[in-house]
C-alpha cells in the first residue's frame, strides 16, 4: 500500500527535529483537525525549509570549527602541523559553504607559512643579538630589563655564573647619566649616549648607546641599551700619561747619579782604582734600582689593564707562598731575619691567577723584610677563612719592625707613596709594591687590610674568595 503523504512529511520532520511541525501533523493525522486546502503543501514547504536550515547550520558549525583551528594555529610560536584548517570530516558541504571552506584552508596555509617565516626571522634576530661582542640590554617602558645577551649576562653575572643577571645591572640602571639618557631617548625618540663609571666591584668605564624602539619589540621592549667597555682604552691613556710623569720623576735621581759617576770616572777618578771600584758598585746599585722601577711600572700598568676582568683558574696559596719564601732566602740572610711559616695546604683561592698571587706574596714578603727590624722575625701564614659568610682564604704577612704611623696607613697603597722616602730608597724599594698588591687583590674581588702600631710592627692581611672545586 502506498505511504500516506502525511506519514512522509511526519518522518522528514522527525529527521530534522521540527517539534512544532510534528505536533501539527500529529493532530492532522489523528483526525482532530481537518486539513484546509493547501495546508499539506504549506507543511511540506515548512519541513523542507527546516531541513535546509539544519544543513546550513551544520555547515556553518563546521566552518566555525575550521576558523577556530586556523586562529589557534596562527597563535602558536612553532608550526605544529595544523596549518591546513580543513573543516571536520562529515556530510558534503553545500557549494557556497565548500567555497568558503576552501578559502579558509588557503588562508590557514598562508598564515602557517608566514608564521614559519616570522619564526625564522625571530630566531635569526636572537642569534645576532646573542652573538654581539658588546653587552646589550632590552628594557621595558618602566626601565625593567626584559632581555640580555651573553656578553651582558657575563658582565652582570649573578653569583659568579653567566646564566642570569646580578645586582650590578640594577646599579647600572639607577645610574643618573643612563637614566637621563633613557628619558631623553623616549622623549625625543632619538638615540642618545652617556659615559658611565661603575665603581664596584671594580671600577669600569662604559659608553652607553640608548636607542628607543618605535614600535615596541615583540617582547614589549621599548629601549635598547648597547654598552661598550672603555675601561681598557681609558686605562691605556692614563697609563701613558702616568708612566711619563712617574718615570720622569722617579728615574731622575738614579739617572743623575749615573751621569755624575760616569763623568767622575772619565775625569778625576780615571786613574784611581779604589774610587773606580766604589763608584762602579754604586752605579750598579742605581742601575738595578732603575731596572726594578721600570719593571714595577710596567707590571702595574699591565695589571691595571686587566683589573676589570675577573681571573680564571685556581691557586694553591701554600705552595705559592713556600716557593716565594725560598726565593727570598738570600735577602732574609742579608738582614739576619728569620721567617716563621704556617701554611695550610687546604687554602686554595678560586677563581684566581696564580702568577699574580705569587707577586702579591713576593711584594708583601719583600716589604716586610726591607722595612722590618734587622735580625727580627717575619711571620707568613696561609689558611682558609670566611668573610661576610663567603668562603675564602687569608694570606697574612707580619713583622716586628718599627711600625707605621696611623696617619700614613690609608695612603700606603698609593703609587710612589713612602712613609720615609730616604729610608725606603736606602732599603731598595720602588714605592710601587703595595700599589701592585692592591690592584691584584681588586681584580680577584678580595680585600686588603693593614694594621700597625708604632714600635709594634705591621700586619698585612689579604682575603681572597675560594669557590668550591668543580664537581
- Does residue 313 have a pLDDT over 70? yes
Of the pLDDT bands very low, low, confident and very high (cuts 50, 70, 90), residue 119 is confident
Range with the poorest average pLDDT among 108-112, 162-166, 295-299, 397-401: 162-166
CATH 3.40.190.10 fits 132-229, yes or no: no
pLDDT at 252 over 50: yes
Confidence bin at 212 (pLDDT 50/70/90): very high
- Dihedral sign, CA of 294, 296, 298, 300? negative
* pLDDT recorded at residue 392: 94
Question: How far apart are the C-alpha atoms of 297 and 415, rounded to whole Å?
Answer: 9
Digit-coded pLDDT (tens) for 50-83? 666 665 566 666 666 666 666 665 555 444 444 4
Q: Which tens digit of pLDDT belongs to each residue from 418-465?
A: 776 555 555 556 778 898 999 999 999 999 999 998 888 999 999 999
Residue 408, C-beta contacts closer than 8 angstroms, at least 6 positions apart: 419
Task: Give residue 421's pLDDT.
Answer: 55
Q: What is the mean pLDDT of residues 205-225?
A: 86
Q: What is the pLDDT of residue 337?
A: 94
Residue with cell 652573538: 131
Higher-confidence residue of 333 and 114: namely: 333
> Torsion over CA of 157, 159, 163 and 164, rounded to 10 degrees?
-70
| Residue-level pLDDT at 161 | 40
pLDDT of residue 243: 63
- Please report which confidence band the pLDDT of residue 302 belongs to, taking 50, 70 and 90 as the band edges: confident
Average pLDDT, the chain: 77
Element (H, E) at 244: helix 231-250
Looking at 154-163, 179-188, 379-388, which range is the least confident one? 154-163
Mean pLDDT lowest for which of 179-193, 198-212, 244-258, 398-412? 244-258
270-286 pLDDT, tens digit each? 788 888 888 888 888 88
Among 41-55, 138-152, 169-183, 322-336, the range of highest mean pLDDT: 322-336
Mean pLDDT for 382-392 is: 91
Residue with cell 566552518: 63
Whether 204 shows a pLDDT value over 80: the answer reads: no
More confident position, 30 or 306? 306
Q: CATH number of 310-471: 3.40.50.720, 3.30.565.10, 3.40.50.620, 1.10.3720.10? A: 3.30.565.10
Quick check: helix, strand or coil at residue 393? Answer: strand
Contact yes or no for 181/217 (Cβ under 8 A): no
Task: Give the model confidence (pLDDT) of 333-353 as tens digits.
Answer: 999 999 999 999 999 999 999
What's the confidence (pLDDT) of residue 329? 92
pLDDT at 353: 94
Fold: same for 132-229 and 310-471: no
Per-residue pLDDT band for 10 (boundaries 50, 70, 90) equals very low
In this model, does residue 249 exceed pLDDT 90?
Answer: no
Instruction: Give me the half-sphere count of Cα atoms (radius 13 Å) on the Cβ side of residue 86.
Output: 7
pTM > 0.85: no
Q: So what's the architecture of 232-309 in CATH?
A: Orthogonal Bundle (1.10)
Residue 316 clears pLDDT 70, i.e. is over it: yes
State the pairing for strand pair 392-399/458-465.
antiparallel
Asked whether residue 306 carries a pLDDT value surpassing 60, the answer given is yes
- What are the start-end ranges of the E strands in 111-250? 136-139, 145-148, 192-198, 204-212, 223-229
Residue 410 has pLDDT above 70, yes or no: yes
Tell me the domain boundaries of the chain: 5-122, 132-229, 232-309, 310-471
Q: Cell 695546604 maps to which residue? A: 345
- CB–CB of 219/138 below 8 Å? yes
**CB 434, CB 357: distance < 8 Å:** no
At 81 the pLDDT is 46
Nearest-angstrom CA–CA distance, 168 and 157: 8
Q: Which of 2-11, 202-211, 310-319 has the highest mean pLDDT?
A: 310-319
Amino acid at each position: 500500500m502506498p505511504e500516506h503523504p502525511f506519514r512522509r512529511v511526519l518522518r522528514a520532520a522527525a529527521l530534522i527535529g521540527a517539534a512544532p511541525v510534528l505536533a501539527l501533523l500529529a493532530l492532522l493525522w489523528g483526525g482532530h483537525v481537518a486539513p484546509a486546502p493547501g495546508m499539506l503543501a504549506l507543511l511540506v514547504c515548512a519541513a523542507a525549509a527546516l531541513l535546509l536550515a539544519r544543513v546550513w547550520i551544520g555547515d556553518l558549525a563546521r566552518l566555525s570549527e575550521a576558523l577556530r583551528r586556523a586562529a589557534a594555529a596562527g597563535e602558536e610560536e612553532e608550526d605544529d602541523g595544523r596549518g591546513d584548517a580543513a573543516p571536520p570530516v562529515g556530510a558534503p558541504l553545500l557549494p557556497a559553504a565548500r567555497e568558503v571552506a576552501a578559502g579558509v584552508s588557503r588562508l590557514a596555509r598562508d598564515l602557517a607559512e608566514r608564521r614559519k617565516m616570522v619564526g625564522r626571522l625571530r630566531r635569526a634576530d636572537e642569534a645576532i643579538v646573542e652573538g654581539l661582542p658588546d653587552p646589550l640590554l632590552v628594557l621595558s617602558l618602566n626601565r625593567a630589563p626584559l632581555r640580555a645577551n651573553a656578553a651582558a649576562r657575563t658582565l652582570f653575572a649573578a653569583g659568579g655564573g653567566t646564566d642570569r643577571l646580578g645586582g650590578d645591572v640594577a646599579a647600572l640602571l639607577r645610574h643618573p647619566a643612563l637614566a637621563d639618557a633613557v628619558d631623553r631617548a623616549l622623549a625625543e625618540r632619538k638615540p642618545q649616549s652617556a659615559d658611565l663609571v661603575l665603581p664596584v666591584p671594580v671600577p669600569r668605564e662604559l659608553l652607553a648607546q640608548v636607542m628607543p624602539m618605535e614600535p615596541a619589540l615583540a617582547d614589549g621592549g621599548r629601549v635598547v641599551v648597547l654598552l661598550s667597555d672603555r675601561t681598557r682604552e681609558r686605562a691605556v691613556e692614563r697609563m701613558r700619561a702616568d708612566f711619563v710623569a712617574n718615570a720622569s720623576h722617579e728615574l731622575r735621581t738614579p739617572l743623575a747619579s749615573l751621569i755624575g759617576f760616569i763623568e767622575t770616572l772619565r775625569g778625576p777618578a780615571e786613574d784611581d782604582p779604589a774610587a773606580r771600584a766604589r763608584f762602579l758598585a754604586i752605579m750598579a746599585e742605581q742601575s738595578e734600582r732603575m731596572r726594578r722601577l721600570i719593571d714595577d711600572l710596567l707590571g702595574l700598568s699591565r695589571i691595571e689593564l686587566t683589573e676589570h676582568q675577573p681571573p680564571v683558574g685556581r691557586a694553591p696559596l701554600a705552595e705559592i707562598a713556600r716557593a716565594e719564601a725560598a726565593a727570598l732566602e738570600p735577602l732574609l740572610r742579608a738582614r739576619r731575619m728569620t721567617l716563621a711559616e704556617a701554611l695550610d695546604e687546604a687554602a686554595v683561592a678560586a677563581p684566581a691567577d696564580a702568577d699574580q698571587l705569587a707577586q702579591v706574596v713576593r711584594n708583601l714578603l719583600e716589604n716586610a723584610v726591607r722595612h722590618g727590624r734587622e735580625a727580627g722575625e717575619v711571620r707568613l701564614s696561609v689558611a682558609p677563612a670566611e668573610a661576610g659568610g663567603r668562603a675564602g682564604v687569608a694570606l697574612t704577612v707580619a713583622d716586628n719592625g718599627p711600625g707605621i704611623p696611623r696617619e700614613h696607613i690609608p695612603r700606603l697603597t698609593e703609587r710612589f707613596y713612602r712613609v720615609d722616602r730616604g729610608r725606603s730608597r736606602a732599603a731598595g724599594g720602588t714605592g710601587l709594591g703595595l700599589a701592585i698588591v692592591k690592584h691584584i687583590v681588586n681584580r680577584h674581588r678580595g680585600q686588603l687590610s693593614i694594621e700597625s702600631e708604632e714600635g709594634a710592627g705591621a700586619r698585612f692581611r689579604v682575603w681572597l674568595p675560594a669557590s668550591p672545586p668543580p664537581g
